[in-house]
Amino acid sequence: MDGNNSPLIDGDFSRHNDSKKIKQNPKLCDYISVTNTMIKEIPLFPLNLVVFPGEELNLHIFEPRYKQLINDCLTNQCTFGIPSYVLTKVEYGTEVKITEVTKTYEDGRMDIKTEGLGVFNVQNFINPWKDKEYAGGPVEFIDFEDELDPSLQLKFIELCQDLFEWLHMEDELPISVETSMYSVIHKLGLKPEEEYILLKMKSHKKRQSFIIEHLEQLIPALERAENAKEKIRMNGHFKHFNPLKF
pLDDT digits (tens, 9 = 90+) for 138-147: 999 998 888 8
* One domain for residues 69 and 113: yes
pLDDT surpasses 70 at 93: yes
Per the structure, how many domains does the chain have? Answer: 2
Is 28 a member of any domain?
yes
Which of 82, 109, 141 lies at the terminal end of a domain, its last residue? 141
Is 221 a member of any domain?
yes
Which of 122, 141, 160 lies at the terminal end of a domain, its last residue? 141
Helix axis angle, 192-200 to 204-234, nearest 10°: 160
Cross-strand pairs, 95: 81
* One domain for residues 136 and 174: no
Report in angstroms the alpha-carbon separations of 41 from 142, 157, 192, 227.
15, 37, 26, 53
* One domain for residues 227 and 157: yes
Alpha carbon distance 63, 71 (integer Å): 12
pLDDT surpasses 70 at 30: no
What's residue 239's pLDDT? 53
What's residue 177's pLDDT? 77
* One domain for residues 120 and 185: no
Is 211 a member of any domain?
yes
Q: What is the mean pLDDT of the chain?
A: 81
What's residue 171's pLDDT? 73
pLDDT surpasses 50 at 13: no
Instruction: Find the domain containing 198 and state its range.
Output: 150-232
- Which of 24-38, 104-118, 230-244 shows the lowest per-residue confidence on average (mean pLDDT)? 24-38
What's residue 31's pLDDT? 46
Alpha carbon distance 174, 161 (integer Å): 8
Looking at residue 51, which CATH number applies to its domain?
2.30.130.40
pLDDT-based confidence at 174, cuts 50/70/90? confident
* One domain for residues 120 and 220: no
Helix axis angle, 150-166 to 204-234, nearest 10°: 20
Query: Is-contact 196 185, C-beta < 8 A?
Result: no
Is 1 a member of any domain?
no
- Which of 101-105, 176-180, 190-194, 226-230 shows the lowest per-residue confidence on average (mean pLDDT)? 226-230
pLDDT surpasses 90 at 116: yes
Which of 91, 106, 141 lies at the terminal end of a domain, its last residue? 141
Is 103 a member of any domain?
yes
* One domain for residues 135 and 171: no
Is 217 a member of any domain?
yes
- Mean pLDDT along residues 13-20: 43
Considering the chain, what percentage of its residues have pLDDT values greater than 70?
Answer: 76
pLDDT-based confidence at 49, cuts 50/70/90? very high
Is 240 a member of any domain?
no
* One domain for residues 74 and 109: yes
- Which of 50-54, 134-138, 171-175 shows the lowest per-residue confidence on average (mean pLDDT)? 171-175
* One domain for residues 36 and 127: yes
* One domain for residues 204 and 221: yes
* One domain for residues 89 and 125: yes
* One domain for residues 218 and 108: no
Is 2 a member of any domain?
no
* One domain for residues 158 and 62: no
Q: Cα(first)–Cα(last) distance of the chain, in Å?
A: 58
Considering the chain, what percentage of its residues have pLDDT values greater than 90?
Answer: 53
